[in-house]
Structure 1
Amino acid sequence: MNGATLRSQIPSFGWIKQCYRTIDRRLRKNLKAMIIVHPTWYVKALMAVIRPFLSSKFGRKVQFVDSLWELSQQIPLEQVHIPDCVQQLDHSWNGSRDTKR
């Protein structure tokens, strides 16, 4: 959940890389998607820069969605903890579109 995160609070490339490496190889291979909700231009640019250093299979798994409604089209939101502040931000950015459809 990236929306409206201050640039100073976005994790560094090194931290993201370390997190990725801590995931067991079997789990990484079975990962279906890494979905980034409310991506900022900075996150999209960062992903474009680091994509050459990622495996091509993993790079294809990275997806951006601009709303919780879009996320709900891919996964049941009941299975995800979405902080209240993210829900409020989504509501202010995307109106009152029902995310439970």
Structure 2
Amino acid sequence: MADITLQVAGRSYTVSARDEDMPHLRALEARIGHHADAAMRAAGGQSGERTLLYLALILADALDEAEKKPAAARSDTLLERIADRLEAVAEALEESGETS
């Protein structure tokens, strides 16, 4: 385990992580940083805790939207692919039954 220092909304936080997790943590840090300015504006210069609260709300909202939209699209696509495969299997079974 090694320590990594992450910058979140203008503050530094040191956490322990495995070496192989470091690139992922840096990517998460960048994703959080993308929303940090909006959270700091929403907090109106108040406490860092309030900024982190707004940041958590922004990220939770983004996660909620992502879980809703892609899941439905993936489900429809997955169902279509399953239906296509079942049709292909049925056709193959019909053809093999005709040749037997």
Determine which structure has more spread, i.e. the larger CA radius of gyration. 2
Q: TM-score, normalised by structure 2?
A: 0.23
More relative contact order, 1 or 2 (CA 8 Å, 6+ apart) = 1
Q: TM-score, normalised by structure 1?
A: 0.22
Larger proportion of helix: 2
Larger proportion of strand: 2
